[in-house]
Amino acid sequence: MSELVNQAKTTEDRGHLTTEKRLDASSELDTLSTEGMLHVMNGEDAKIAAAVEKAVPAIAGLVDSIVERMKRGGRIMYIGAGTSGRLGVLDASEIPPTFQADPSMVVGIIAGGDGALRKSSESKEDVYDGSYEALDELGVNGDDVMIGIAAGGTTPYVWGALEYVKKKGGVTGFVSCVELGEIEKRFGVAVDHKIELIVGPEVVTGSTRMKSGTVTKLALNMISTITMVKLGKVWGNLMVDVKATNAKLVDRAVRMLMGQTELEREDAAKLLEKADGHVKVALVMQKKGINAEEARSLLTKYEGVLHPILGRPR
């Protein structure tokens, strides 16, 4: 018997999963005009925000758990395979430049390693303990939060990682596009925070890079962004914990300083230079009439949060 036939006989039938079902609205997709096809896709995408809204209470619980542990030195760890893994790595990679965060604060792990970001390594997702070597190297501990990402919810690689973290005393979350209750029982791993984003069958049956991928990206945006806000990296709605390292960021930083002080553009740029490109430091220097070293010391005292130092932004 061939390996493929044997695998088909022994593999669980996943046809009952929402992500694997056929969508009636796209059953004649290949016969439609180009605009007709696009309207079908757009109509399905329009349902995504409502699915996220339903999950907001669960996302809030996960974020609060993350913030509590990050204040003790914990980390967010995303883990997934294929599209799900790529989305986790993408979100993790965007945090350092956006929030001047240490790259170790949010970590993305994908089945097959970084090479799988460009070239699929889908078979790696079936290895339950496939992440253990990487997790050993990361030194996972009880303050870490592991967020599994799998649209269909059945990826062994992800469940193995969640079990590993549970044994270390860490917190677990799971972002999926199916209900996880029965799957959770089958794997025997109790997830602390289940983020179930039910968007229904895909326009192209089983292609979870579509609605499932989009809704997952929205959820990850919310998790990481609101975590950073609660850690003091945003003042009002201003991205103040950014370092001006290119032309776009210099312009943004200078405009923020001009908006919050009486300085003209050139003087704001000079202030930013004295602050080594750090907007937070520059703001405290200007508003408190102190030098950069004193401003950094004050920020350290208040754990980088501007509210107790400067009040509300104008």
20 is a catalytic site residue: no
Q: Which residues pair with 58 in a beta bridge?
A: none
- Token representation of residue 180: 């996880």
266 is a catalytic site residue: no
SS3 call for 129:
coil
Catalytic residue among 68, 94, 179, 294: 94
SS3 call for 109:
strand
The Cα 232–Cα 249 span in angstroms is 19
- Token representation of residue 62: 């996960």
Identify the burial level of 161 via C-beta atoms within 10 angstroms of its C-beta, where 0-12 means exposed, 13-18 middle and 19 or more buried: buried
Q: Which of 82, 43, 94 is nearest to 211 (CA)?
A: 43
Q: Which of 179, 161, 188 is nearest to 77 (CA)?
A: 161
- Listing DSSP states for 243-310 in one string gives B--SHHHHHHHHHHHHHHSS--HHHHHHHHHHTTTBHHHHHHHHHHT--HHHHHHHHHHTTT-SHHHH
Phi, psi of 185 (to 5 degrees): -65, -40
Identify the burial level of 137 via C-beta atoms within 10 angstroms of its C-beta, where 0-12 means exposed, 13-18 middle and 19 or more buried: exposed
Phi, psi of 145 (to 5 degrees): -120, 115
Catalytic residue among 3, 28, 122, 125: 125
| Amino acid type, 271 | L
CB atoms within 10 A of CB 287: 15
CB atoms within 10 A of CB 222: 18
Q: Which are the catalytic amino acids?
A: 94, 125
